[in-house]
Amino acid sequence: MSDNQNRRNAIKNMLVGSAALGSSSMLSSFSTKEKTIENQVKLKGNINHSVCQWCYGFIPLEELCQAVKEIGFGAVDLIGPKDWPILQKYGLFSSMCYHGGSISLTNGFNNKKYHEQLIKDYTEVIPLMVKAGYKNVICFSGSRNGMDDETGLKNCVEGLQKILPIAEKNGIIIQMELLNSKVDHKDYMCDKSAWGVELCKRAGSENFKLLYDIYHMQIDEGDVIRTIQDNHQYFGHYHTGGVPGRHEIDERQELFYPAIMKAILATGFKDYVAQEFIPSAKKNKDKLADLKKAILICDV
């Protein structure tokens, strides 16, 4: 609690310092700025780092933005239109957008009865993204509910082809997330990279890709590095997370993220890798310190 309080006080001091007049306030502002620079990590610039906002829902978005700036990277993931102005206030990029409608992992493109609403949601958000300068928007397959893979593929293609021409015209990438159906999202259809890759092939558009979630795919299929090497042209975005438990990506879990990041870089990937681990309930009071550590682990 005290560490978070100190951060809030530092932010408050920086705002006061920038607004006040006179030599003493200028010195205070310079001192705060200097402290922020000291706290920043020296990133190599090979990986475009981001962080998923929902994992830090216990703090205000503005405070998360301040932390991101303090660590020294420039993007936040999974943000809807209503919160874009906050990111813009801090000069941060929305690396993966939500549309403005109702978001559902279970009611997705594999079920035709949701197509009308989904088409409306995406056709409305795409112009907003263009205006804001963003390019990636997430989508979901939905649950199986007894549906076979082939029917799900056909239904997804039918729905996606209604919005892909708009995406192509505006340079927007629609990205379907791969999620595990073993632990976290029972019955989710897009739970294997092979199914997702087949969907990409059938959709037949460079503006439709997969969000390859490393945590989820380690659980459902493993062989992460080989999968990335063999299918990287279909992956437009990456998420992290420690396995098991979806906590910090440190030495306590089974994935070695530096090797995974090097494999991603070797494919020529230039977009974003977003941290999507849930800070654990350990005694470490400053959970944002674990975000900084994760960024350093992935900065190869």
Domains of the chain as residue ranges with CATH: 1-39 (no CATH), 42-298 (3.20.20.150)
- Could you tell me if 61 and 5 are in contact, meaning their C-beta atoms sit under 8 angstroms apart? no
CA distance 70 to 73: 8
pLDDT of 94: 98
For 13-36, write each residue's pLDDT tens digit. Answer: 333 333 332 333 323 333 334 444
The segments of the chain whose pLDDT lies below 50 read 1-37, 283
Element (H, E) at 24: helix 23-39
Please give the biggest Cα pair distance in the chain.
70
Quote the pTM value.
0.86
pLDDT of 41: 78
pLDDT of 3: 39
CA distance 212 to 227: 10
**Token code pair at residue 132:** 């804001």
